[in-house]
Structure 1
Amino acid sequence: MRILILNWRDLSHPAAGGAEVYTEQVLRRWAAAGHQVTLFAAAVHGRPAHEIRDGYRIVRAGSRFTVYREARRWWQRHGRGNFDVVIDETNTVPFHAHEWVDDGTRTVALVHQTCEEIWHINAPPVLAHLGRHRLEPNWLRRLGGGPILAVSESTREALARFGADDVTVVPEGYEPPLPLPRPAKDEQPTAVFCGRMVSYKRPGDVIRAVGLARERVPGLRLRMIGGGPLLDRLAAAAPAHVTFHGRVSEEEKHDLMARSHVHLAASVREGWGLVVTEAAALGTPTIAYDVPGLRDSTTAAGGVVVAARPEAMAASLAESLPGWLRAAPAPLPYGGAHSWDTVADTLLAEVQRHARVPRGPMRVAA
């Protein structure tokens, strides 16, 4: 197949996250299986406009806001007649490729998460109101005119509220580190938070929950892993039982998570919550807020979901932690997700089905 995928970021972008990891893992497997794969994404300072990586081609043009226009222009000059399918990977703003791909090529949307409540955390009040109640509903209603692939049941349910009725849930993937770190758990009861220190991740809620739980779990301490704009302010106000590690290497992150007894997640919403999967693969269970995305990954990982309040998280900590201190859960294969080979196979089958392309051999190479 000749596949074009549109995403406003590629893995080289400084703001790349879980969606870009997903994209990279899938595309390199498709390319290894013999498919001709092109990723169109925004320009990245210091990176070329055209690049071959892991067998697939990356084309970069435009900024965070103009990449959508540039994708359409690139299609008009170079895309027509050269692809079998176009995948519109949506991170809040769709490319709406189904409205301008004009040569009969099939289009499929791939949606990781909707924004919704996050508008009121990441944007000024007027823009937040406009985005939440006008812009995003309009974007998603238009996107619902074609087939959509969603990475969680929560995302499928969110899209259905905006009128999308042709939504298929595809699996999330994870590749555990090899060899798998198996350090001894800390002697003191230890919780860990891992993520960017930004408002929608609600790191302050985690700090408060641990402070409340210490009344019933003496000696409980908290590790905070990750950088971000709130790091300095949170670290300056943190009590002595909270340690901030900042942004660390993957190896150090895995070691710190594996030595902790419980992982805490309090985001407003996620597409899936890959950090939950990471923790479970290392033998560290999660207590998470019962919100879209986190409820999917935490349930799959055998963790605990609670009402989105620090008091509820603290109560669950006090109830669940003694058992985990006595006997830590075993590492869960793929953290409750799937191998990237399985994800790539499943996603390709769905793309072929929607694009009405005859299916060939399905196994892709890692």
Structure 2
Amino acid sequence: MREVLLLCWRDTGHPQGGGSERYLEQVGAQLAARGVKVTLRTARYPGAARRERIDGIDISRAGGRYTVYPRALAAIALGRLGLGPLRGIRPDAVIDTQNGIPFFARAAADAPTVVLVHHGHREQWPVAGRLVGRIGWWIESRLSPRVHRDNQYLTVSLPSAEELTALGVEGARIAVVRNGAESVPARVPAGDDSTRTAHPSIVVLSRLVPHKQIEDAMAVAAGLRARIPGLHLDVIGDGWWADNLRAHADELGIADAVTFHGHVDEHRKHELLSRAWVHVMPSRKEGWGLAVIEAAQHGVPTVGYRSSRGLTDSIVDGVTGLLVDDPVQLVEAVGDLLADHEARTVLGEKARARSREFSWEQTGNGVYEVLSAVARGERVSGLVAPALVEP
């Protein structure tokens, strides 16, 4: 494997960047550390440079939310002619990230394509509006599987792989490489009783967008406030839905019991996680749920929805956290954990032990294995959990 091209509609510096972008860039950094030439083509946003090099990845930016797609295809096509920002790029494989809509890289690239899908977006498309939502879901569920009927697929969890097969993608072409996790920053003590807040506390780590359903976590705080005095909710993350959430806190009468921390650096994020008693992840849909593992690194169990699909892989129900079926059960489960120190500690410590199974190095190794196979004309299926591989 000599060179790869990564395509994604955002990068981690984007105001709306999240776990999908982090996965791709961490993989890119691991590949670059092996000596692979890595180029990331993504959208531009205010304050972002057109070209930048981060962690060994050459980043090329152009276009916006929708125009990023045709502009990337044009750049790839021109690059093959020795023109434009991608001139000189000769990848052995292309990772086409499908965040609802893929780039359809095979239309412009002469290298084999790997379609990276974190999860299906059927439940999220309505947010885009009725017409756009219907078109988007048709592209994701009908057009993309047909166009990519011979391509390798890559996803991050077993439930997401099942979603792809339900759309008609052959299981023999779906590889699963789970998310990794970075080590807790050296200056932050791993969570334990000495770091927890004196008052009962729950935390949410998420982008603030509608499908993350942060309102349900706020409903937990509102519903338990009388039963558990001093309960506080910390919301870590930012997004275009933030103002609506602040207004909702006012409507529920819990503005004084909720702190919106916004986007924070890694040190502060882990510091806040180490203070929490319980992590709540009420998302409508997740491919994996990286925040589950990050909370687990501090011995903090997660409560989330079974219907989110991806959390059924990142959470071992009743062992490292709890899965529930509706908002009423969410309130009950969180309340029970907050009231039971022993149960909370047992779940948290088992979650901490499991978190040690995941690293970005291992994730990078897994994706390297998939890309190498694709470059040889082969296909990979099932869970890829490789040992360390020499570059």
Give me the TM-score of the superposition, normalised by structure 1: 0.88
User: 1:107 aligns to what?
Assistant: 113
User: 1:286 aligns to what?
Assistant: 302
- Cα shift readout 1:293-318 (whole Å, capped 9, x = no counterpart): 222222398111110x2111122223
User: 1:232 aligns to what?
Assistant: 246
Residues 218 and 54 from structure 1, CA distance in 2 versus in 1: closer, same or farther, beyond 3 angstroms? closer
Q: State the shift of 1:109 in Å.
A: 1.3
> Within the alignment, does 1:177 sit opposite 2:193 as a pair?
no
User: 1:188 aligns to what?
Assistant: 199
Q: State the shift of 1:216 in Å.
A: 5.2
Structure 2 counterparts to residues 1-366 of structure 1, below 5 A: 1-79=2-80, 82-101=90-109, 103=110, 105-120=111-126, 122-132=127-137, 134-141=138-145, 142-165=147-170, 166-179=173-186, 180-181=188-189, 182=191, 183-214=194-225, 217=228, 219-227=230-238, 228-240=242-254, 242-250=257-265, 251-290=267-306, 291-299=308-316, 302-307=320-325, 309-324=326-341, 328=345, 329-330=348-349, 332=352, 335=355, 338-356=358-376, 362-363=389-390
Alpha-carbon distance in structure 2 between the residues aligned to 1:187 and 1:94: 47
Residues 298 and 246 from structure 1, CA distance in 2 versus in 1: closer, same or farther, beyond 3 angstroms? same
Alpha-carbon distance in structure 2 between the residues aligned to 1:85 and 1:210: 47
Identity %: 31
- SS of the residue aligned with 2:315? helix
Q: State the shift of 1:336 in Å.
A: 6.0
Alpha-carbon distance in structure 1 between the residues aligned to 2:43 and 2:141: 24
- Contact 1:41–1:58 (CA<8 Å) still a contact in 2? yes
Residues 137 and 267 from structure 1, CA distance in 2 versus in 1: closer, same or farther, beyond 3 angstroms? same
- SS of the residue aligned with 1:193? strand
User: 2:381 aligns to what?
Assistant: none
Farther off after superposition, 33-42 or 332-341: 332-341
Alpha-carbon distance in structure 1 between the residues aligned to 2:223 and 2:216: 11
Residues 258 and 356 from structure 1, CA distance in 2 versus in 1: closer, same or farther, beyond 3 angstroms? same
Alpha-carbon distance in structure 1 between the residues aligned to 2:275 and 2:44: 39
Alpha-carbon distance in structure 2 between the residues aligned to 1:164 and 1:43: 32
Residues 30 and 189 from structure 1, CA distance in 2 versus in 1: closer, same or farther, beyond 3 angstroms? same
- Contact 1:151–1:172 (CA<8 Å) still a contact in 2? yes
- Cα shift readout 1:148-176 (whole Å, capped 9, x = no counterpart): 01111121111111111111111211103
Alpha-carbon distance in structure 2 between the residues aligned to 1:162 and 1:84: 28
Alpha-carbon distance in structure 1 between the residues aligned to 2:335 and 2:198: 17
- SS of the residue aligned with 2:16? coil
- Contact 1:98–1:107 (CA<8 Å) still a contact in 2? yes
- SS of the residue aligned with 2:309? coil
Q: State the shift of 1:357 in Å.
A: 7.4
- Contact 1:111–1:149 (CA<8 Å) still a contact in 2? yes
Alpha-carbon distance in structure 2 between the residues aligned to 1:192 and 1:48: 34
Alpha-carbon distance in structure 1 between the residues aligned to 2:360 and 2:160: 20
- Cα shift readout 1:258-308 (whole Å, capped 9, x = no counterpart): 21211111111012111111111111111101112222222398111110x
- Cα shift readout 1:115-158 (whole Å, capped 9, x = no counterpart): 110112x22233334433x2322243233431101111121111
- Contact 1:203–1:266 (CA<8 Å) still a contact in 2? yes
Q: State the shift of 1:320 in Å.
A: 3.2
Amino acid at match of 1:184: T
- Contact 2:39–2:59 (CA<8 Å) still a contact in 1? yes
Q: State the shift of 1:219 in Å.
A: 4.8
Alpha-carbon distance in structure 2 between the residues aligned to 1:194 and 1:75: 36
- Cα shift readout 1:33-60 (whole Å, capped 9, x = no counterpart): 1111111112233333332222221222
Alpha-carbon distance in structure 2 between the residues aligned to 1:327 and 1:205: 21
Amino acid at match of 1:196: R
User: Which 5+ residue runs of structure 2 have no aligned equivalent?
Assistant: 82-88, 379-387
Alpha-carbon distance in structure 2 between the residues aligned to 1:168 and 1:346: 9
User: Which 5+ residue runs of structure 1 have no aligned equivalent?
Assistant: none
- Cα shift readout 1:87-120 (whole Å, capped 9, x = no counterpart): 112211101123433x4x2221111122110112
- SS of the residue aligned with 1:70? helix
Residues 48 and 204 from structure 1, CA distance in 2 versus in 1: closer, same or farther, beyond 3 angstroms? closer
- Contact 1:195–1:201 (CA<8 Å) still a contact in 2? yes
Give me the TM-score of the superposition, normalised by structure 2: 0.83
Amino acid at match of 2:389: M
Residues 136 and 303 from structure 1, CA distance in 2 versus in 1: closer, same or farther, beyond 3 angstroms? same
Q: State the shift of 1:257 in Å.
A: 2.1
- SS of the residue aligned with 1:343? helix
| Count of aligned pairs between the two proteins | 357
Q: State the shift of 1:327 in Å.
A: 6.0
Alpha-carbon distance in structure 2 between the residues aligned to 1:12 and 1:207: 27
- Contact 2:205–2:291 (CA<8 Å) still a contact in 1? yes
Alpha-carbon distance in structure 2 between the residues aligned to 1:208 and 1:48: 40
Alpha-carbon distance in structure 2 between the residues aligned to 1:248 and 1:83: 34
Amino acid at match of 2:315: T
